[in-house]
Structure formats: structure tokens, C-alpha cells
Amino acid sequence: MMSPSAIPAVEARNITKRFGATTALADAGIVIAEGETHALVGRNGAGKSTLVSILTGLQRPDTGEVRFAGQLAPPLADRDGWRRQVACVYQKSTIIPTLSVAENLFLNRQSAGGPINWRSLRSRANELLDQYGVAVDAGRMAGDLDVEQRQLLEIARALSFGARFIILDEPTAQLDGPAIERLFDRMRALREQGVTMMFISHHLEEVYRVCQSVTVFRDARHVLTSAVDDLPHDELVAAMTGEAAAGYQARARTTSTAAPTVLTAEKLTMAGRFQEVDLTVRAGEIVGIAGSGSSGKVGLAEALVGLRVPDSGTVTVNGTRTRPGDVASALRAGLGFVPQDRHKEGFVPLLSIGENATMPIAHKLGRFGAVSPSRRRARAEKMIEDLAIKTTGPAQPVQDLSGGNAQKVVMARALADDPTALVVIDPTAGVDVRAKQALLGAVEDAAERGAGAVLVSDELDDLRICDRVVVMFHGRIVKEVPRGWADAELVAVMEGVDAR
Amino acid sequence: MTETTVASPGSPGGSPDKAPPPGGGHNGLGLARFRDLALVPAILVLIVVGALIEPAFLSADNLTNVLQQQTELSLLVLAEAIILIAGKFDLSLESTVGLAPALGVALVIPAASNGLGTDLPVALGVPICLLIGMLVGAFNALLILRFKLSAFIVTLGMLIVLRGLQIGFTGGQNLFALPESFLYLGNARWLGLPASVWICAVAYAAGIVTLGYFRHGRAVYAIGGNADAARAAGVRTDRVMWTVFVVAGLLAALAGLLMTGRLGSVAAAQGDGMIFTVFAAAVIGGISLDGGKGTLFGALCGVLVLGLINNILTLAGVSAQWIQAIYGGIILIALMLARLTTGKAQD
């Protein structure tokens, strides 16, 4: 790989950064060797994002210095200077949906001066896209691209400035399995070209797959840097959480076939998403739904709770047929759910934890439409305790919480009315190890109380808590496996390699 | 620039099935252009309807009249469209239409004609008028960009303050004793067309070229589409926005100047209520209230549609008491049609 004496491609040393009273980074740092793919991991709030903004020149550290290939980083005002050193694919897309692909690629440098020649801009863009093997036409509107294509666009744009160091900030969070594979292939190809990368992810198995070394941050401090091969999974998790913690252990549980059915879908069909899906969930049972991004699994779950209107078929909750596309009727029948995108359907960011979590049961907290603040407070405090939500109290707005804690509020809302049927979609997306355990534990607790749950997830690890997993492929359920399945078996069906 | 090749023969990037082959891009852009032209058929239909209702409609006099009556509105729509594309709002434009010429006039005419008694040289009147427009724009920008106040509330406040100022120093009177320089642009004819029509044409041409073919113009779209991304790409977003607000103020003052010349006086209520029509024309013309979307050509088409409808209603002899309700109803219908033809939810 490289000799130890070589000058590292990137080094940030003794970085301290404070925001008011909070210390985001305390004497932390990272050293990345030329040509390696280096993982940066840590729980939410460990200081990863702050390091990214310091390494990309968006923020100035209070103390400490950043060097690229031994040279001090350019001054903050010299954006072009920074861009020649480091490129970043941020978590939040920086693609402008209302402009064409070509214009996004050459934003603010459409012409050397004088009027823009759109034809030549488009051909320059197509050249650039060809060069990086991105099969997207430059004339399209960027808003029409899918998440994966947008990300490739960002990578191509980042590299086009001539930077040899790229930061990828949770690039896999929004991609499905095959797209992640393609991204990894691309990362490996880039590495062969000698590009240095810093890779941030909550999914530790990804770190093992594409990275050579890893740096762990915890509570604003650097904890360790190690070659990936020398660091077993358990030790990595322990370094992140500060305690020895294994992956989530699914609990043993037996479900009786005599248990009553709590949630049924019959011949549920929605054109282009899923066809003729039958699903039965019994009390005390957790049923997993696996499948690729195009399998229709999320659409199906959303149809179960009423967020989508199916074309035909019925959904029955506790013996009551719910009205298609009517969330309220599903809730009344005893259903609780965690939506896929917590920011969109999960919570109202400006409202307090208490108000968000008790929203479905507001009518039970007072009479004649009034909501008793003290009763709401009491309920919320109990929820905060049950789910171990890290907060200053029930009055704190949800927007101030970290991703994992915000997701716990969404889970609390789902469980507020003690539902007999629970539908949970991607509950662990973008949350850290410990929050993940609390969230999966909450689903198992609900099942032990006698609720029947549907768990949709891209994470095979999450699905370990399920009593059985059904696999969807192109809108149909193609296989059902009982507890104890092997990863390879499930993935093969998900990718359509073994559909029988 | 360092060249890095990622493409390996076995790994086509993205989803090849979704991406059209290169060259299909002309389709993509062609479609975007087509959306710009969406209102052209509507304009043609309106011209045919006008000709059927009243043969005089097609006379050069009437058509010139339609154009001239729309010049002030079209300048305001131009100003508003640029601000909307940049993702902001300006409601105060309509008050600038009244205040800028009123103050410009009042500073140069004698106190006996309702002037302020400053008796500045008459030659300064028009430059002062335009300067006031720019100052109003700059003040809006100061509050919105520097003090981070909501553009909607700031400009709503400015709408009321500016109107109040005009009524305050004119004592609610119309100004009649206008210097010749204020009357010229609103009345002159150049090459057989009213000067105001030429001015509008030039303003729109300049706007379309700048927003379509220059880096700083494209920055307006980038800011409206995603301000953070624009900043990350090195766009000086605040500087661009300051310019946009100042230019919009200037255009509003120019519109006020044209209206003053055309009507021969500065009414106390000059421009009052225009902002609603301005927004309607911009939205009908395909400008998104969310920013980042729409073209100035589309906005111009929106103005023409509303102007033609207004003219046809007048020619058709619709009673003056009803014309407002019908005009408003037609605006709503036009919005619904625009929603149906673009197929996307209106933002």
C-alpha cells in the first residue's frame, strides 16, 4: 500500500471547535494516507459532521490545523482553493432540482466569461459524465433523476474540480442494495485510480467491505484509528459506544398459531407497486418484509396504514375493514405505525416531544376536545423513560433532537395508543447503534404485549427480530422464510436470483 | 485538471435503462422550451375570440393600446418574476409605482403646486424617481438579507409604509403640475410604437438574455432552487440577491414613471392593488412561488394573456360593475388551466 514515511494525503490535528456552550470537537483529529479509503464512524453527535465541515473549509476550527499533502489548507475565503483539494458528497443533496444536469455540473462556471453557450455546455457535461461512466443525459432536469443518479452526479461534479480527496458523508443512507453495490464498485475503481476517500456510514459492515482503515470518534473526541482488518466488529462497536456491546440480540419468542389475527391484507394491489398481496399477522408475531428498493415493500406497508390508496384489495385491522387511504380509520381500529421518512410524516419539528408523541391520543387526554397539559406531560414523561429518549424534557421541540432520538419520538407516537397492530418502516435508517437497539427493543416489547407487527427494513440485521420474513420481488411476495434464515438465502431472493 | 476515469467496461453507472442515450437531451430541452410556449396557443385563441367579438379588436390602434396599457404591469411582473425565481417575495413594488414618481415630482415642483418646496433642478426629477426605486429595493434587501426577516412580512410592511408616505407628503392630493421630463416617456412614440412598449421590450430582452445566458443570471435560478447548494458552488448569494432587489425597485420606479406620463398626473393611489395582478400574471406565466422555476418569457406571456382578456371584456361591453368579478374569475380559471397543462401541483 504505502510506506509509513509517506506524507499523508489529509491530516487534521488537534482540532477543537465549540459552538456556544457545546464542544463539537475536543482536540480531535484524523490522518488519512494517500490512496486509502478511510472510514469515520461514531454515534450521532460524536463530531463527524463538524469534522466534515472543517475538512471542506466551511468552518474554521478554534484551534488546530488542516493539511493536504503536507501543505496548510487554503484560507476559508478561497473556495476554489479548497475545491481543488477536497470534494464532498454531503448527506443533504446539493443538486438543484429545477436546473438541468449539465448546469448542475457546471454551476457558477457555466462559461469562462460572456454568454453561456448551452450547446457546448451540454456537450462538455456529457463528456464529463462519460468520463466518469455516469449514464445520465446532461439535458435532463436534475429533479427527474433518482437518488442514485443524483449521487453519481455529485461525485462526478466533485471530481471535476481536480480534487484527489473525496468525503462521502453517509452516501448509502438513501440507496437500496443493488445501488449500494454499484456505489462500492465505483469507490473501488476510484481507489485504483489513486483517489483518497473518507467514508462515513452508520452501517459497520459497509466499513469492513470498502475501507482499509477506520477512525472512531466518541463524544467529540478521537478514540482510535486502526486498520480495518485488525479491528473485530465487537471492538469497533465497543469503541463507538464506550462499552462492550454486541449487536442486537433478538429475543426468543414463540407465537401460537391459535393467536387471533390482528392485521390482514387480501389481494392488495396497487398498479406499478405491488400486486395481489396476501398477508396475515397474528397477535404476538413480528413479520418482516424484505426486498429491494423496487420491490414495492414500502408501498405495501404504506397501503396497510392508509398512507397510500391501493387500487383494489382490503386491509383488515382487528376484524375491522379500514377505509383505503384513510389513516384515521386505521388508527381507530388499533393500528400504530412508524413511517419511512420521519422528517416528512413522522413528526412536526417545531412542536414539543410531548405534543408529537401524544398526537394520536390527544382525544384521550381531556374532554370536549381540550387537551390537559398535565396529563399530556405525564404520558410523555413515561414515553421518554420507556424509550430512553435523550432530552431535556417533554417540552423540548423534536427538531432539537438527534436523528436517533427523533426516531424514538416517532416510535413513541406509534405506540401511544397501545396498538394491537404495528407497522414499522425502516425504523433504524440513519440512527446509531444504541438507538437502533432501543427501537428494535420497542418493537419486540410491543409483540410481547400481544401486538402483531410488520417490520419493513433494508437492514438484514433488523429483520432478525422477526418470527418470519416474507420477501417481495417486483411487487409480489415470492418467498417466506421462518426465523433462522441465512443472509445469502434472503439476498438471493431479494435480487431475484432465486425466485422460487 | 487531473483526469480520473472511473468507467470500467463491466459496470455501467446508474440505471442505464432509465437514461436516454446522449442526444435524447435535445428532447429534454425541447420539452422545457415547449413549456415556455404553453401560453402561446392561449394568446392566439384570445386574439381569435377578440376578432370575433369585435372587428375593431384587430386594428393596429387597439393592439397598440393593449400593449401600451400592459407596459407598466409587465415591468412589475418582470421585477416580481426575477424575485420569485430567486425564491423571495416583494409585495411593496406597487407602492413604489406611486411613491417614486410622486417624490421625484414633489421635490422639483414649487410648493404652490403641492410640491415640497425644495425646488430642486427639474432635470434631477427623473433620476431621483429612479433612485428612490433603487433605494426602496436596497432597504428591502437590507431587512430581508442582513436582518433575516421574512420577505413576505417585510415587503407587506413596506407596501403600507410607502403608500402612507406618499399620501402623507402629498396630503392625499394628486399631483398635476408635472415637468415635461415626467411626461415624455409615457407619451412619446418611437418608430410608430409608444416609447413605453419599446422600453418594455428592451427590458424583457435584457432580462431574458441575462437570466438565460449569463452566469450571474443563472445564479438567480440556483439560489431559488437551493440556496445552500448555490453557496457551496461559490455563488455569492447575498450579492446576487441585493442586486435583484435593487433592480426590481428600479423597474417598479420605471413603471411608475411610464404610468405617470401616460395618465398625465401622479394619483395618490397610483399602483394601488396592482400587486395581485402581478402575482397572477407571474403564476399564470409559469413562475413558481417556491422559487427556481419559470422563465421571463413565460411571465411576459402571462401579462399578455391578462391584457388581452381585459381588453376583450371591455370591447365586449361587459358592464364596468361586473368586470372585476369576471376578471378575477378568469384569473382563477387560467390558474386551473395552467395547473392542468403542466400536470404538476402548483407551488
- Please state, in angstroms and rounded to a whole number, the distance separating the CA atoms of residues A249 and A272: 37
Q: Chain B residue with minimal CA distance to A104?
A: B222
Q: Does A85 touch chain B (CB under 8 A)?
A: no
Contact of A262 with A281, CB cutoff 8 Å: yes
Look at B21 and A137 and tell me if their CB atoms are within 8 Å. yes
Q: Chain B residue with minimal CA distance to A130?
A: B7
Average pLDDT value for residue range B12-25: 37
In a domain, A402, yes or no: no
Residue B281 main-chain phi, psi, to 5 deg: -60, -40
Q: Does B232 touch chain A (CB under 8 A)?
A: yes
Q: Are residues A321 and A182 in the same domain?
A: no
Lowest-pLDDT range of A17-31, A118-132, B249-263: A17-31
Q: Are residues A204 and A271 in the same domain?
A: no
Q: What is the pLDDT of residues A147-190, one digit of tens each?
A: 888 888 988 888 888 888 999 988 887 777 778 888 899 899 88
Say what the pLDDT of residue B15 is: 38
In a domain, A54, yes or no: yes
Q: Write the burial class of residue A21 (CB in 10 Å: 0-12 exposed, 13-18 middle, 19+ buried).
A: exposed
Q: What is the pLDDT of residues B28-45, one digit of tens each?
A: 344 445 566 778 888 999
Which residues of chain A neighbour B29 with C-beta distances below 8 Å? 100, 118, 122, 139
Number of domains in chain A: 2
In a domain, A123, yes or no: no
In a domain, A311, yes or no: yes
Say what the pLDDT of residue A420 is: 92
Q: Are residues A320 and A457 in the same domain?
A: yes
Look at B5 and A132 and tell me if their CB atoms are within 8 Å. yes
Q: Are residues A336 and A454 in the same domain?
A: yes
CATH number belonging to domain B60-334: 1.10.3470
- Whether B347 shows a pLDDT value over 70: the answer reads no
Q: Does A62 touch chain B (CB under 8 A)?
A: no
Residue A487, phi-psi category: left (phi > 0), alpha (psi -120 to 50), beta (remainder): alpha
| Residue A432: CATH number of its domain | 3.40.50.300
Residue with cell 467491505: A209
The closest CB to that of B232, out of A94, A138, A152, belongs to: A94
Q: Does A188 touch chain B (CB under 8 A)?
A: no
pLDDT band at A237 (very low <50, low <70, confident <90, very high): confident
> How far apart, in Å, are the Cα atoms of B160 and each of B99, B152, B165?
11, 13, 9
Domain boundary among A241, A274, A300: A241
pLDDT band at B25 (very low <50, low <70, confident <90, very high): very low
Q: Are residues A222 and A266 in the same domain?
A: no
Q: Are residues A275 and A339 in the same domain?
A: yes
pTM, full prediction: 0.75
Q: Where are the domains of chain B?
A: 60-334
- How many residues can be counted in chain A? 500
Which residues of chain B neighbour A92 with C-beta distances below 8 Å? 228
pLDDT band at B341 (very low <50, low <70, confident <90, very high): low
Average pLDDT value for residue range A123-133: 88
- Whether B345 shows a pLDDT value over 70: the answer reads no
Q: Are residues A281 and A416 in the same domain?
A: yes
- Whether B1 shows a pLDDT value over 50: the answer reads no
Say what the pLDDT of residue A2 is: 46
The closest CB to that of A189, out of B8, B28, B212, belongs to: B8
Q: Are residues A149 and A223 in the same domain?
A: yes
Contact of A391 with A384, CB cutoff 8 Å: yes
Q: Are residues A223 and A288 in the same domain?
A: no
Say what the pLDDT of residue B282 is: 92
Q: Provide the domain limits for residue A317.
A: 261-351+409-494
In a domain, A342, yes or no: yes
User: ipTM more than 0.90?
Assistant: no
Mean pLDDT, rounded, of chain B: 85
- Please state, in angstroms and rounded to a whole number, the distance separating the CA atoms of residues A321 and A330: 9
Residue A69 main-chain phi, psi, to 5 deg: 50, 40
Which residues of chain B neighbour A130 with C-beta distances below 8 Å? 7, 22
Strands A421-425 and A10-19: unpaired
Q: What is the pLDDT of residues A454-478, one digit of tens each?
A: 999 887 888 989 999 999 988 889 9
Strands A63-68 and A10-19: antiparallel
Q: Are residues A89 and A203 in the same domain?
A: yes
